[in-house]
Amino acid sequence: MARSKQGKPIRVLVADDQELVRSGYKAILNTFSNIEVVGMAKDGKQAVDEALRLRPDVVLMDIRMPEENGIEATKRIVGNPLLEDVHVLVLTTFDVDEHVYDALEAGASGFLLKDADPEDIAEAIEVVAAGDALIQPSVMKRLIQTFARTRPVAVQASAEDAATRVSTLTDREREILVAVARGADNAQIAEDLFISPATVKTHLARIMSKTSSHDRAQLVVVAYESGLVRPGY
């Protein structure tokens, strides 16, 4: 089972406005030896405060909450240099949801359906804690296609920004970004491009820096919004 970098259980903060939901996740997750729920929050503002206080590995974040919603809270967590090692996993009721797209754009590492099985929830936390994105490329394509139609102004602004960031990449970096957007992992990219996995990691670090991306999920957003990869591919 995956654990945090120090070999300790993955520390999780649960943020949801319903007490029964928070308690339920805590009870479920604490049955896994490699996961420890270290705190809970009832709204976005408290989620940010608790993230700063506890420095969890993963924040399990509901989107629709009072005071401050999960999208705004995600932006604040991802944008805070003190929380650069904290990853956000968004909870949602529907796999194609306007707010899911917003959360990914804000920096969430992926999303999880609220009715997922306990084992799937634990696996999702492990994936996100390891710094990987938890989103299927096919789902991202549907999100891009759906909300490019419903939010043309916002998407146009995002596309221009993404295109500017992608323009700074080298040809090899663009090649790797395309592979990431299509769902390839480091090992697959290394094999396809005849380079070592370590070289792939080096390129990814540079791509993330140049595109101001927090993790692989944001790289996928940038790749699609910039037009480097077309929806429906």
Q: What is the pLDDT along the chain (233 residues), one digit of tens a residue?
A: 555 555 789 999 999 999 999 999 999 999 999 999 999 999 999 999 999 999 999 999 998 888 889 999 999 999 999 998 999 998 877 655 567 777 877 888 888 888 888 898 898 899 889 877 776 555 555 666 665 555 544 455 466 777 888 999 999 999 999 998 877 888 889 999 999 989 999 999 999 899 888 777 778 778 877 888 876 54
CATH pick for 138-225 out of 3.40.50.80, 3.90.180.10, 3.40.50.2300, 3.40.50.300: 3.40.50.2300
Q: Are the C-beta atoms of 174 and 166 separated by less than 8 Å?
A: yes
CA distance 137 to 46: 32
Give the per-residue pLDDT at 193: 93
**E strands, 161-213, in order:** none
CATH pick for 10-135 out of 3.30.70.260, 3.90.1150.150, 3.40.50.2300, 3.30.70.100: 3.40.50.2300
Give the per-residue pLDDT at 153: 44
Q: What is the pTM of this model?
A: 0.70
Domain range list for the chain: 10-135, 138-225
